[in-house]
Structure 1
Amino acid sequence: MKQLLLLLIILTTHNFIIPSHSEKCNPDDKNALLQIKKQFGNPTKLSSWNPTTDCCNGTWEGVSCDTDTQTYRVNDLDLFDLDLPQPLPIPPSIINLPFLFYLSLSRIPNLVGTIPSSISSLSKLRYLYFSHSNISGEIPNTLSQIKTLVTLDFSYNKLTGPLPNTISSLPNLVGITFDGNQLTGAIPESYGSFSSLFTSMTLSRNKLSGKIPASLANLNLAFVDLSRNALEGDASVLFGSNKNTQKIVLAMNSFSFDIGKVGLSQNLNGLDLRNNKIYGMLPEGLTELKFLHTFNVSYNNLCGEIPQGGNLKRFDEYCYSHNKCLCGSPLPACKT
């Protein structure tokens, strides 16, 4: 009896968690979560993270456990709108949740600092979202060590520096979303070697510059958004009649290529090329696109008659305005 009392005193003194026999939450995961809460300054939204309750019982905000295999390891951490008491970094204890496959920290204004390179130790991670916060610094190339990654979303932060050139080696990566940062430099040549699973690349509202690598012709992107950068040169490599492209947004750059020579995906439903230096005649194939519902080629150097028919007739003169010599409905008639 004395030995039992002594053990209880030691465990209490050292703040160890004594799990109940019915508790499913792994004690290491629980300790890690409580450390994360502490490192976040104990925000009120995490008041449900009560050390006396089971972290796998569904009541802990943003926490899910693996019930399929009945290992009950924490595999999903989805936190947003946290009321951090002061500017704080990504909690270091996150790496002590080794079974995470989904990690999201979003809409947290007081989340600052860099993306820790140690995040690469989460070897089972598939979905990584740090968005709409104030994270800064460079995107670490060490992310390429997480071979299980499927999606990366670091949109609308204060990230700087170049695009990470090693992530194209990730075998399961489907898409990257780095919009709304302050990333600089060129799109890496290596981005043309993403796997065939890679279908989405959105890099809008950054400070990217230079020419698009010709290697991007190898990609079959469903969605691509490079708008509001300082990119230039030939973006025709993103087009192709044999591709599954659904949306191309290149607005507000300095791209220059002959639009009349590109092939068009039959699945194209959005095309925004405004405010570039694109030239040539609009391809007749635009009238054959059954799903086209957004279209804008204004403020370019286009010439010739606007193709008539199909979904093109739904777009007004604003979508064609301020070109070199574009004419025909809905613009004034071409001169004979």
Structure 2
Amino acid sequence: MAAKFFSSATPVLLLLLLLTVTCFFTPSLSEKCNPQDKTALLQFKKELGNPAKLSSWNATTDCCDPAWEGVSCDTDTKTYRVNDLDLSGFSLPSPHPIPPSVGDLPHLNILSLRNIPNLIGPIPSAITKLTSLHYIYISQTGISGNIPDFLSQIKTLVTFDFSYNKLTGPLPSSISTLPNLVGITANDNKLSGAIPDSYGSFSNLFTSLTLNRNQLSGKIPASLSKLNLAFVDLSMNMLEGDASVFFGSKKNTQKIILARNSLAFDLGKVGLSSNLNTIDLRNNRVYGKLPQELTGLKFLKKLNVSYNSLCGQIPQGGNLQRFDVYSYAHNKCLCGSPLPACKT
């Protein structure tokens, strides 16, 4: 019967039948998604337990389609490789580690896994296969373990944010070899130990160090004086010693936040960046006088030197009298407006 049909069918009908069968069994010729990237994403979904949030990741559709949740492809160069994976804010029904299949997306430029409480386990070594990765954002998760040394293998890395996790252990000294790193953010973890001396050898691109609310201890390395940090926040740790290394009149520093440590240095002898808008040194052991140069900081919006061992008269002028009593309170013998007048 089939033979009779084909022998009597017109060439047009045979062509239509062939096209129908081909379209049914093969991907659309218009699909832009790279097959390897698609396979990796579907495996990633499987390793996360096929969450309902990723139901848009469908094997029959194009992974470069905007319908695929959190997936972006490179449309600028028309290569259509997956270069951005952002699954921030989606909930996992049960705890899962970061799938190792994330390493099978070789053109990934940005990896964002933020605000996913059920994301657990260590940072996987598979990310070292991501040789085009510039930005890693893994924050507000249940990720634990150390910040791994193998991050130093990702030479394209520009910055990473590991804040609000459950990371422990020391800071890896090896990341100072990353040539393009501009900043580290790892606040609100349980990191411990000293800041590595090698961090003074970061390139001149490095401008941000945010490690507040951890359990870091030891002295601030003198080598950090080589850095020209725009932003540094080491508050609420157990750090000791001389933090004057972060100051300097020739630096471009905007914010220095070192509150609630055991830091001790003569504040009257530091140089001040003209760009400073925030200085928070409260609850330390800082001594000396407030430098007269503070009055010339036209961008200064926040100053708190309370609970230290400062003495002398608060310089008059600039923004210094706009700060309230609590910004200067509980020092050894600091006086003058807005505190009570100095005794003659």
Q: What TM-score, normalized to structure 1?
A: 0.94
Residue identity opposite 2:37 in structure 1: D
> Which residue in 1 is equivalent to 2:240?
232
| Structure 1 position 118, deviation (Å) | 2.4
Q: Judge conservation of contact 1:240–1:265 (CA < 8 Å) in 2.
A: yes
Q: Is the 8 A contact 1:75 1:99 kept in 2?
A: yes
- 1:268 equivalent to 2:301? Answer no
* Deviation at residue 50 of structure 1 after TM alignment: 1.9
Pick aligned residue for 1:297 from 299, 305, 316? 305
Cα displacement string for residues 256-289 of structure 1 (whole angstroms, at most 9, x for unaligned residues): 0000000000000001000000000000111100
- C-alpha contact 1:43 1:82 (8 A) present in aligned 2: no
1:58-112 residue CA offsets vs partner (Å, 9 max, x unmatched): 1211111011111100000011122211111001110010100100101000000
Q: Secondary structure at the match of 2:320?
A: helix
Residue of structure 1 aligned with 2:95, choices 87, 98, 112: 87
Any conservation in 2 of the 1:251–1:275 contact (CA below 8 Å)?
Answer: yes
Picking from 123, 148, 159, the partner of 2:156 is: 148
Instruction: Provide closer, same or farther for how the CA distance between residues 310 and 18 of structure 1 changes in structure 2, counting only shifts above 3 A.
Output: farther
Q: CA–CA distance in 1 between the matches of 2:331 and 2:125?
A: 47
Unaligned runs of 5+ in 2: 1-23
Shift of 1:47: 2.0
How does 1:149-228 map onto structure 2 within 5 Å?
149-228=157-236
SS in 1 for 2:142: coil
Secondary structure of 1:33 counterpart: helix
Contact 2:101 2:126 in 1 (8 A): no
Aligned counterpart, 1:286:
294
Q: Which residue of 2 aligns with 1:24?
A: 32
* Counterpart amino acid of residue 27 in structure 1: P
Return the alpha-carbon distance in structure 2 between the equivalents of residues 57 and 314 of structure 1.
54
Where does the alignment leave 5 or more consecutive residues of structure 1 unmatched?
1-11
In the other structure, the counterpart of 2:330 is 322
1:131 aligns with 2:139: yes
Distance in 1 (alpha carbons) for counterparts of 2:56 and 2:248: 51
2:75 is the counterpart of 1:62: no
Asked whether 1:73 is paired with 2:81, we answer yes
1:314 Cα deviation after fit: 1.6
* Whole-Å separation in 2 of the counterparts to 1:117 and 1:208: 25
Contact kept, 8 Å, 1:44 with 1:83, in 2: the verdict is: no
Could you tell which deviates more after superposition, 105-114 or 36-45? 36-45
C-alpha displacement at 1:19, in angstroms?
2.5
**How much identity, in percent, do the aligned residues show?**
73
Report what 2:54 is aligned to: 46
Larger deviation: 73-82 or 216-225? 73-82
Give the corresponding residue for 1:4: none
The AA in structure 2 aligned to 1:148 is T
Two-structure CA RMSD over aligned residues (Å): 1.5
Contact 2:104–2:129 (8 Å) recurs in 1:
no
User: Which secondary structure state, in structure 2, belongs to the residue aligned with residue 309 of structure 1?
Assistant: coil
Aligned residue for 2:96, secondary structure, equals coil
8 Å CA contact 1:19–1:27 kept in 2: the answer is: no
1:20-71 Cα deviation digits (max 9, x unpaired): 1010001111111111112112222222212221111212111110111111
Deviation at 1:232, TM superposition (A): 0.4
Equivalent residue number for residue 9 of structure 1: none
Could you tell me whether the CA contact under 8 Å between 1:88 and 1:110 is conserved in 2?
yes
| 3-state SS of 1:191 partner | helix
- d(CA) in 1 for partners of 2:162, 2:280: 23
Instruction: Check conservation: 2:311, 2:332, Cα contact below 8 A.
Output: yes
**Bigger-Rg structure (1/2):** 2
Match of residue 115, structure 1, among 103, 119, 123: 123
The one-letter amino acid paired with 1:83 is S
**Corresponding residue number in structure 1 for 2:10:** none
Compute the displacement of 1:18 (Å).
4.3
Classify the secondary structure of the residue corresponding to 2:141.
Answer: coil
CA distance in 2, matches of 1:157, 1:187: 19
